[in-house]
Amino acid sequence: MKNNLVILGAGESGYGAAVLGKAKGWNVFVSDNGLMKPEYLEKFSRLGVKFEQNGHNETRIFNADVIVKSPGVPENAPIVVKAREKGIRVESEIEFAGKYTSAKKICITGSNGKTTTTTLIYDIMRGSGAKVAVAGNIGESFAEKVAKETDGEIDWYVIELSSFQLDGMYDFKADIGLLLNITPDHLNRYDYKMENYVNSKLRIAQNLQESEFFVVNADDPETQNAISRVTSMGTKITFSAKSKTGDAYFDGTNITFEDFTFPVCDLQIKGIHNIANALAAVIACKKAKVCNGDLAKGLKNFKGVEHRLEPVIEFNGVQWINDSKATNVDSVIYALGAMTRPTIWIAGGTDKGNDYSLLTDLAKEHVKALVCMGLDNKKLVDSFTGIVPDVFDTNSLEDAMNKCREIATKGDCVLLSPACASFDLFKNYEHRGKCFKEDVIAHSK
């Protein structure tokens, strides 16, 4: 008799779990409490699995042997709580997929820098000729990648992991785990308790043995405090972009780890935060046996990732920068700190329990105007009125962009760096960044 697999959530992660579940002989049922997007309705229909939307059939769901919970479904969702009370195992898509591959795994988490570091590691390893794939919170789901894997095709997965994906992981472990930093983020999903969020991030180190590596940021006090509570973390390797105290470090000119040295002036990605990302990537790649020549070539050629401090265009003397991936305050700290021109800052969206006071000094120094873009901007408006010369309240991309064009003068920079999630006006941060870029390009012609 087939085992019953129920998947909660019908997005990218849920679809990947369904593909893998079906490939491995599970009796798959997908349940989404909301309306499914048309593209996923088509995908699930084509896959031939049974599904429901706009509500949960508890009788069917509680007949599951295993429930895979998509990252968008909160841990405290009533259906999840009830399932666990009934003794049904509820796990993440990452946990489920990990059982079906023997490939080694480099796993990256942190409040900021995940996508840049993940992409950099992947690019370096791919350029070295390694049999490698990238998955997780970037691109195609891990489960779908595993479902398509053939014997010997993949030696390494480079996996970006959000806190939501780490929730529901129990037996899964990395071969190389990276914890880049911990700053307040997604606190609305963690009862507004930093400790809960930190505990989620620490799952990156669970189950690590001495033969495996745990790469951590020596400069980040929250990370250092957190790992002091971890009793088993494999072999710890630290990195520091601020001093020589890390095993890998930046000395003001070069980044160094073991027998590898690289001049930072050759990096195309700029800023101290990107030096930290590069250091973490260097450690991971060295421990994955990438040679120094391939490592240096990969670092030199890497241009960064879309939606992260991405220059769009300079038109009529005004520079436009897409930093839509900055969905928390700490990301905006990096962005505003990198500005060298008077800045018109576009921020707003779904607030995640942000403390905007952390941005006060940078806003005073760099921001000539704040254009708030969201359905409810009161917190932003209240936080920065009197801090920056002008604060504008808009409720759509069109209004926000028109206001920016109205007030921008030659020599200014318009920076989209929202500090918030995108779900009030957009599908996700990628959609927000794409719409921003399309608008900028359209009005520059």
pLDDT, one tens digit per residue, over 267-297 is 988 888 899 999 999 999 999 999 999 999 9
Query: Any idea which of 56-70, 145-159, 218-232, 366-380 has the lowest mean pLDDT?
Result: 218-232
Alpha carbon distance, N-terminus to C-terminus of the chain = 63
Percent share of the chain, pLDDT over 70: 98
Which residue would you say has higher pLDDT here, 257 or 245?
257
Given pLDDT bands bounded at 50, 70 and 90, which one contains residue 61? very high
Cα–Cα dist 256/258, whole Å: 7
pLDDT at 255 over 70: yes
pLDDT at 27 over 50: yes
Look at residue 341 in the predicted model and tell me its pLDDT: 95
Q: Is 207 a catalytic residue?
A: no
- Is 431 noted as a catalytic residue in this protein? no
Return the pLDDT at 384.
Answer: 97
Tens digits of residue pLDDT in 200-235: 888 898 899 899 999 999 999 889 988 888 777 789
Out of 43, 56, 186, 352, the active site residue is: 186
Listed in order, strand segments (DSSP E) in 169-326 are 176-179, 213-217, 235-240, 248-250, 254-257, 260-263, 310-315, 318-322
Residue 124 has pLDDT above 50, yes or no: yes
Report the pLDDT value the prediction gives residue 1, as an integer from 0 to 100: 44
Please say whether the beta carbons of 322 and 312 come within 8 A: yes
Who wins on pLDDT, 355 or 107? 107
- Name the catalytic one among 43, 69, 105, 137: 137
What domains sit in the chain, N to C, each tagged with a CATH number?
4-93 (3.40.50.720), 101-301 (3.40.1190.10), 310-442 (3.90.190.20)
pTM of the shown model: 0.81
Residue 415: predicted pLDDT: 98
Contacts of 354 (CB under 8 A, 6+ apart): 184, 328, 329, 379, 419, 420
* Coil vs helix vs strand at 21: helix
Neighbouring-strand partners of residue 311: 321
Whether residue 42 has pLDDT greater than 80: yes
For the segment 36-52, the average pLDDT, to the nearest whole number, is: 93
Catalytic residue among 114, 173, 325, 403: 114
Give me the chain's average pLDDT, please: 93
Structure confidence by residue, pLDDT tens digits, 174-194: 999 999 998 776 676 766 777
Known catalytic membership, residue 427:
no
